[in-house]
């Protein structure tokens, strides 16, 4: 094999897995080999934890301004290398290049934001009950932090965890997803270029269960921040219990998107398109249930079908592509299963409804963007996360009814509503049991806003001033004077 094997970054050095194992990374659009990584286990993870632990003493007590300098430098380097990073994301994930560029800029923005937020970790003094005592409250870094990330945002998921952790004074090991490790390798080359002291940020590439088991068993790891499936989140939470490890979880979603009879239907169709088809529907904030008032349902469905049929589906590296492939065979199988299940239980297909085949499609995991009607609550798509380009249309009659239906989910990450009625726009979000609500906005995420869910979508928040809280402990010092 001529391909150079990409290595892990531990204690400031590029190293191969103890096991000598490797893993191939392939394009989900064409099946071609695009890289090979070293693929480790608990032994490499332990080394990274030891390195992060040794580096914590200095990094955790450095001034915020010192830490900030490194974060700013990294932000600038990501910005400078944005095109190359976007191309790696498009190649390993199939994400449309335009979206990939947006994601890279988002990552640069996160590092820039937390370079500043590092300087705003304020303490407090609180008036005492007693004249001879003083109360001081200070914030300190939690300690060694393990960040476990999924494949759907290969750079920004890492940035949203690493940036606030480092800003707070924690040292970090990152374990990216198996499908998209090449982006992380490039980011760590930039981390090296930014000159971070050795051991402060480490990259572990390896088998999830083995890496995870070491992270959860090792007492030096004080905090685990995880984005991924609810099933793995629950497993990690159980494993964290023994040591009371700090955890924050950003898990699955099942977003309702509500179109009221007084909505601007064109704006709603655009918002839906964005919230459903971005990243081929592989986002935890993606619309999974579309509720449309019965009086505008036919008109809205028509608009959606027209827009969807024009969508360009293909390899993300092609600049015209609007919707890329699913990440792998399992992802495609799940989406097709949801479509077949809905059809078997009476759903009607307005457009799509099948795998795309023929020509270049035969090599990749492509699903036709799909719109379904005649949905009933027994269908998997109504309760399980589809993670693909499928829109089930459900009609409703009243505001109360649709709020109840929207909340009837174990998930609680994102919800959307479209209406031109000001009272309704204020009233309805208050009743939705979701951590993020887009009102006439199909793409609500921003660096400075809190991102996270209710219920089984997890807890803890990423983004803005909230994102750093999970990496800080609160210490109360009582002074007798």
Q: So which residues are the catalytic ones?
A: 250, 284
Are the beta carbons of 226 and 457 closer than 8 angstroms?
no
Rounded to whole angstroms, how far apart are CA atoms 353 and 369? 7
Are the beta carbons of 440 and 425 closer than 8 angstroms?
yes
Rounded to whole angstroms, how far apart are CA atoms 442 and 268? 8
Q: Is 90 exposed, middle or buried (0-12, 13-18, 19+ CB in 10 A)?
A: buried
Query: For 132-207, where are the alpha helices, taking DSSP H only?
Result: 156-168, 181-194
Tokens, residue 100 = 């990939």
Nearest to 187, CA basis, from 466, 32, 196: 196
Least distance (Å) between residue 158 CB and ligand ADP: 10
Least distance (Å) between residue 9 CB and ligand ADP: 16
> Per rule CB under 6 A, is residue 208 in the interface with ligand ADP?
yes
- Contact region with ligand ADP (CB under 6 A), list: 41-49, 60-68, 206-214, 432-440: 206-214
Rounded to whole angstroms, how far apart are CA atoms 451 and 464? 9
> Per rule CB under 6 A, is residue 264 in the interface with ligand ADP?
no
> Per rule CB under 6 A, is residue 212 in the interface with ligand ADP?
yes
Tokens, residue 61 = 């007590």
Q: Which of 38, 68, 110, 149 binds ligand ADP (CB under 6 A)?
A: 149
> Per rule CB under 6 A, is residue 232 in the interface with ligand ADP?
yes
209/448 with CB nearer ligand ADP: 209
112/147 with CB nearer ligand ADP: 147
Nearest to 82, CA basis, from 112, 96, 68, 103: 103
Rounded to whole angstroms, how far apart are CA atoms 248 and 233? 9
By CB under 6 A, how many residues form the interface with ligand ADP? 13
- State how beta strands 246-250 and 458-459 pair: antiparallel
- Contact region with ligand ADP (CB under 6 A), list: 18-26, 74-82, 180-188, 225-233: 225-233
Site for ligand ADP in 66-95 (CB under 6 A): none
Q: Which of 61, 209, 376, 420 binds ligand ADP (CB under 6 A)?
A: 209
Least distance (Å) between residue 178 CB and ligand ADP: 6
* Residue number closest to ligand ADP, CB atom: 212
Least distance (Å) between residue 150 CB and ligand ADP: 4
- Contact region with ligand ADP (CB under 6 A), list: 165-173, 205-213, 360-368, 371-379: 205-213
> Per rule CB under 6 A, is residue 206 in the interface with ligand ADP?
no
Q: Which of 11, 19, 22, 229 binds ligand ADP (CB under 6 A)?
A: 229
Site for ligand ADP in 150-179 (CB under 6 A): 150, 175, 177-178
- DSSP, residue by residue, 89-152: HHHHH---HHHHHHHHHHHHHHHHHHHHHGGG---EEE--SSTTEEEEEEEEE--EEEEE--SS
> Per rule CB under 6 A, is residue 309 in the interface with ligand ADP?
no
Least distance (Å) between residue 389 CB and ligand ADP: 16
Sequence-separated (6 or more) residues with CB below 8 Å from residue 362: none
Are the beta carbons of 469 and 461 closer than 8 angstroms?
yes
Binding site for ligand ADP (CB under 6 A): 148-150, 175, 177-178, 208-209, 212, 228-229, 232, 235
């Amino acid at each position: 094999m001529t391909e150079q094997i990409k290595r892990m970054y531990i204690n400031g050095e590029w190293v191969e897995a103890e096991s000598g194992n490797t893993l191939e990374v392939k394009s989900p659009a064409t099946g071609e080999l695009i890289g090979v990584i070293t693929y480790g286990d608990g032994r490499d993870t332990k080394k990274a934890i030891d390195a992060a632990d040794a580096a914590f003493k200095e990094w955790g007590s450095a001034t915020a301004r010192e830490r900030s300098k490194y974060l700013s430098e990294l932000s600038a380097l990501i910005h400078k290398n944005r095109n190359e990073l976007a191309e790696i994301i498009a190649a390993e994930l199939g994400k449309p290049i335009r979206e990939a560029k947006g994601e890279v800029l988002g990552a640069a923005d996160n590092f820039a934001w937390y370079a500043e937020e590092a300087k705003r970790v304020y303490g407090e003094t609180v008036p005492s009950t007693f004249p001879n005592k003083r109360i001081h409250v200070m914030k300190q870094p939690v300690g060694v932090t393990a960040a476990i990330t999924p494949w759907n945002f290969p750079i920004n998921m890492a940035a949203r965890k690493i940036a606030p952790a480092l800003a707070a004074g924690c040292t970090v090991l990152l374990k990216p997803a198996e499908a998209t490790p090449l982006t992380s390798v490039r980011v760590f080359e930039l981390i090296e270029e930014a000159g971070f002291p050795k051991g402060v940020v480490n990259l572990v590439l390896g088998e999830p269960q083995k890496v995870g088991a070491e992270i959860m068993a090792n007492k030096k790891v004080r905090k685990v921040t995880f984005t991924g499936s609810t099933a793995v989140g629950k497993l990690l939470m159980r494993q964290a219990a023994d040591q009371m490890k700090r955890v924050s979880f950003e898990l699955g979603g099942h977003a309702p998107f509500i179109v009221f009879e007084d909505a601007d239907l064109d704006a709603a169709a655009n918002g839906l398109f964005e919230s459903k088809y971005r990243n081929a529907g592989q986002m935890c904030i993606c619309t999974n249930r579309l509720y449309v008032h019965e009086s505008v349902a036919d008109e809205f469905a028509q608009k959606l079908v027209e827009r969807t049929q024009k969508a360009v589906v293909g390899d993300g590296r092609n600049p015209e592509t609007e919707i890329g492939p699913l990440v792998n065979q399992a992802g495609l199988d799940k989406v097709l299963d949801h479509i077949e299940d809905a059809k078997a239980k009476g759903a009607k297909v307005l457009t799509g409804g099948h795998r795309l085949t023929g020509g270049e499609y035969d090599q990749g995991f492509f699903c036709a963007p799909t719109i379904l009607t005649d949905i009933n609550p027994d269908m998997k798509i109504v309760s399980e996360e589809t993670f693909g380009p499928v829109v089930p249309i459900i009609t409703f009659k009243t505001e109360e009814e649709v709020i109840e239906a929207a909340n009837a989910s174990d998930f609680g990450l994102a919800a959307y509503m479209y209406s031109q009625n000001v009272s309704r726009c204020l009233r309805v979000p208050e009743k939705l049991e979701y951590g993020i609500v887009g009102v006439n906005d199909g793409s609500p995420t921003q660096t400075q806003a809190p991102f996270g869910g209710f219920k089984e979508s997890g807890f803890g928040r990423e983004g803005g001033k909230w994102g750093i809280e999970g990496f800080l402990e609160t210490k109360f010092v009582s002074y007798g004077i």
